[in-house]
Amino acid sequence: MNTKIFVIISLAVVSTAGMLYADSCTPDCTGKNDGEKVPDPKNCTNYYFCKDEIPSDHALPCDAGMIFDNGDCAPGPACTPICEVTVCPITCNGSYSMISDPFDCSKYYICTAGQVNGPLTCPDDKPYFNGENCVKDKEVCCAVSCTPYCGPGIVEAPDPVDCTKYYMCLEVGIPNEDYHFPCSSGEVFDFQTGRCSSDASCITLCTGSTSNVKSTTTTTTTKTTTTTTSFDCANSLICTGEGFFPQCHFSCQPGYFECTGAGAQGIYHECTGDLVFNTDPLYAYCVLPGNCPFHPSK
């Protein structure tokens, strides 16, 4: 594949579906005088001091029984923090879980044991991925929070601002700074598999901006041209497009080809374990043999 051309094309396409927003989880001293206090968005019993419109390095706690309200600590009942982290499933938390593409709401990935398959593209009539399905409603599109978050079943969560670090997850929620670790030297954290890796690319999930993010958007979902061949399984494949294609058109077998783009030589893989590759190109990934052939409902 000609990487240079691919990169240029990718950068030229501005994704309309994938957007990232700065979130409400960082203390904000904008327009505040020196010494003024602002709420700790993550903990409503704490506050920050402002100096030169910059919050103090650490949050300070109100006295016991007090909450931070309206610019100062005051006696108050239990309170909820301002910061709401959008939980955007982008890290695999088990086989057969699906993850969103943080930069393109029309794309998603399927996690199988130790492997991330995709991207798969939602169909035109249901263009947005909601974490489980492709749907019509654009509201489901999620923006990755700039605050780290441990979703259910996640063992290591990405650091949204530093691709060389991660958080160990002991419970669901915003992880503690004590569990913030660097990957080994030369490795970056693969936010999809949830592990440090020497071949992952460094992707900063938090852009801290409200503008559209440039992303790698491919324009077509290609259907494999199942020309009337008398044979079932191919030994090699010249790709008709980007994605994953079954080795066998009619029988459910473990083999499949990974394609980086039209004209490329397909790279042969086999599904892990007992899994077989589904023969319906509309649902191009490894499935349990009992579920094959699987035809997605339209």
Residue given tokens 């497009």 in the structure block: 241
**Shortest Cβ distance from residue 136 to ligand NAG (Å)?**
21
What is the residue-wise DSSP string for 37-64?
Answer: EEE-TT-TTEEEEEETTEE-SS-EEPPT
**Shortest Cβ distance from residue 62 to ligand NAG (Å)?**
8
**Shortest Cβ distance from residue 115 to ligand NAG (Å)?**
16
Task: Tell me the two tokens of residue 1.
Answer: 């594949």
**Shortest Cβ distance from residue 70 to ligand NAG (Å)?**
18
Q: Print the SS3 string covering 147-191.
A: CCCECCCCCEEECCCCCCEEEECCCCECCCHHHEEECCCCCEEEC
Nearer to ligand NAG (CB atom), residue 114 or residue 152:
152
Nearer to ligand NAG (CB atom), residue 89 or residue 254:
89
Q: Name the closest residue to ligand NAG (Cβ).
A: 153
State residue 11 phi and psi, 5-degree precision.
Answer: -70, -25
Contact positions toward ligand NAG, by CB under 6 A? 43, 45-46, 61, 89, 93-94, 97, 131, 151-153
What does the alpha-carbon distance between residue 218 and residue 16 come to, in Å, rounded to a whole number?
A: 13
Nearer to ligand NAG (CB atom), residue 132 or residue 280:
132
**Shortest Cβ distance from residue 61 to ligand NAG (Å)?**
4
Nearer to ligand NAG (CB atom), residue 44 or residue 146:
44
Residue 14: in which H helix or E strand, if any? strand 14-19
Nearer to ligand NAG (CB atom), residue 97 or residue 222:
97
Distances (CA, A) of 184 to 92, 128, 150, 157, 163: 21, 36, 21, 16, 12
